[in-house]
Structure 1
Amino acid sequence: MIRNTTTPDSLLISKYINGSEFALEVLIKRHQQRLFSFIYSKVKDRDVTEDIFQDTFIKVIRTLKKGRYNEEGKFLPWVMRIAHNLIIDFFRKSNRMPSFKNTDEFDIFSVLSDGVFNAEKRLINEQIHADVRSLVDELPQEQKEVLLMRIYNDMSFNEISENTGVSINTALGRMRYALINLRKLIEKNKIILTH
């Protein structure tokens, strides 16, 4: 028997993987308000929000069915990260190319020097992000969790506090130590963050 409020997410996930559709329903109902509000706060459009919300859970279901979900992170931050990536995809698709005013001052070189068009800069940026991401994995679990929620999921410290079950001050402290430790790791590994 699945009780809506007391069954932990991890147990619901394993029940769903083992064939309980109801377990997934409970998971979706439990998190739909937070997730919907999060998506809506970014896109400010109800129809787009509903589309992204559905796409998020389609990805969640596919990942769970393929057995690719790992218990490392909590369920909600993982779902929020999927939604966040879909929101970014939505904005990329709707603004694929920068718009230019057709004036005498229009300068093709200003477009060519733009980071969007500069493949070398983009590769360097991607490498920097990959380097930093691998260093984040070296942080203690509590610090890593707060950092990922704040930076990658764009969650407020209030939301982080609710998700992790710690006070806002503890969440802030963990973030501070995560940044201090990250700085030390960057220096130790001699990673250059500018190009």
Structure 2
Amino acid sequence: MNVQVLSDQVLLNHYLSGDRSAISKLIERHSRRVRDYISMMVKDRDVADDIFQETFIKAVRVIDEGRYTDNGKFLSWILRIAHNQVIDHFRAQRQNKSVSESEAGYDVLGTLKLAERTVEDAMVCDQIERDVRALVELLPAEQREVVIMRYFSGLSFKDIAEQTNVSINTALGRMRYALINLRRMIKEKNLILS
């Protein structure tokens, strides 16, 4: 069975027909995007791993209970579950009043890796990362969410619109305003991000 050519629905059908390895292949297919999204939102690798596992446990439970209906958007569906798990995590932390600013922040450039970085390159990259993270954190929540979903999770505006329950035009508008706000803040703070 060639996994690359099988659609998500075919893998789900195989799983529901008793092929337990099919769900593993489906999870593996989408794990990077889901893990990246969760990591960008929570910025703590251990917490991200826990939320990642909970996301797929919940998804498999829904599938096993026959409550999942495929509409050709498995990735959007699983990312929506991940999004809800992240929100639940922060709600629980808020109730415990133990969310620090860094825990609630975003690892904007955390995946940037350069081959043979010099000490100067590392210092510059660290400073840019801090500057960009600080600017993104200053954005209104809706704009911040769209920036992270688009640039760091690689989602299309259609997927973003579905996950945030808004129209594509609203998602595009939020991105437009986010970029305008980021440019304005960069100019006001005289930042050089290169």
How much is the aligned-residue C-alpha RMSD, in angstroms?
3.2
1:72 positional shift:
2.6
Task: Give the CA deviation at 1:155.
Answer: 3.0
Larger RCO (alpha carbons 8 Å, 6+ apart): 2
Q: Which structure has the larger Rg? A: 1
Instruction: Say whether residues 1:25 and 2:24 are aligned partners.
Output: yes
- Determine helix, strand or coil for the equivalent of 1:155: helix
Question: Taking structure 1 as reference, are residues 155 and 177 closer, same or farther at Cα in structure 2, changes over 3 Å only?
Answer: closer
Distance in structure 1 (CA, Å) of the matches to 2:25 and 2:92: 32
CA distance in 2 between partners of 1:51 and 1:73 (Å): 27
Task: State the TM-score, normalizing by the size of structure 1.
Answer: 0.53
Code of the aligned partner of 2:82: A
Q: Secondary structure at the match of 2:57?
A: helix
Which residue of the partner structure matches residue 134 of structure 2? none
Distance 1:178 1:45, change over 3 A: closer
1:175 and 2:174 are equivalent in the alignment: no
Q: Kindly tell me: are residues 178 and 48 of structure 1, through their superposed partners in 2, closer, same or farther at Cα, counting changes over 3 Å?
A: closer
Q: Answer yes or no: is 1:74 the counterpart of 2:79.
A: no
SS at the partner of 2:37?
helix
Q: Is the 8 A contact 2:150 2:156 kept in 1?
A: yes
The residue aligned with 1:10 is 9
Sort the Cα spacing of 1:92 and 1:73 in 2 relative to 1 into closer, same or farther, 3 A. farther
Report percent identity of matched pairs: 41
Which ranges in structure 2 are unaligned for 5 or more consecutive residues? 99-144, 161-166, 173-194
The match for 1:35 is 34
1:160 to 156, 161, 164: 156
Instruction: State the AA in 2 paired with 1:68.
Output: R
Q: With structure 2 as the length reference, what TM-score do the two structures score?
A: 0.53
Q: Structure 2 matches for 1:42-121, cutoff 5 A?
A: 42-72=41-71, 74-96=73-95
Aligned residue for 2:156, secondary structure, equals helix
Q: Secondary structure at the match of 2:155?
A: helix
Displacement of 1:28 in angstroms is 1.0
